[in-house]
Amino acid sequence: MRRAICPGSFDPVTNGHIDIVARASFLFDEVIVAVGINKSKNRLFTAEERMEMLREACREFSNVRIDGFSGLLTAYCEENDVQAIVKGLRAVSDFDYELQMAQMNSSLADIETVFVPTSPEYSFLASSLVKEVATFGGDVSGLVPGFVRERLVTRLDERRRAGDA
């Protein structure tokens, strides 16, 4: 059984993430999509909300399950018998940091990192940019699933109201 992990913040999940998960699910017997839980980072959605959206977004992939992790990714991989970390590469600019992380992770544990090139239609896509565009009223349909767009608009609206109060 070859088990891989797609780790990330997923704040929120985008169509680019789903594309990478879909391709990982084709390559491996089982894929865990794991939400990094880092309480010190300021996120728009809680870890539980991010996992909920991932469960909905990945429900069509029968060999994919969603989980959360805190602490070292390599520790989670060892505890869950994961052999490979799958990461999407959008551009050369992603490569330096991702290579550094891959080498650090392989120095910490017996784990391979597999880079999957992002499909060209998603090469500009990042959760941070989606949030920025939505904050200023831009149309993010086509970049995230419809139900994520709705939750994003609602959450940003709640934040705006809380800021005005």
Active site residues: 17, 41, 90, 127
CB of 102 to ligand PNS, least distance (A): 8
Select the residue interacting with ligand PNS from 4, 7, 14, 88 (CB under 6 A). 7
**Side chain identity at 121, as an amino acid letter?**
E
Distance CA 108, CA 57 (A): 31
Q: Apex CA 141: angle with CA 143 and CA 34, to 5°?
A: 40
Distance CA 23, CA 161 (A): 39
Q: Does 91 bind ligand PNS (CB under 6 A)?
A: no
Which structure tokens are listed for 45? 């959605």
3-class secondary structure, 165: coil
Angle at 115 between CA 112 and CA 95, to 5 degrees: 110
Nearer to ligand PNS, 88 or 145 (CB): 88
Binding mask 14-53 for ligand PNS (x = CB under 6 A): ----------------------x-----------------
Among 29, 72, 147, 159, binds ligand PNS (CB under 6 A): 72
Q: Which residues bind ligand PNS (CB under 6 A)?
A: 7-9, 36, 72-73, 101, 104-105
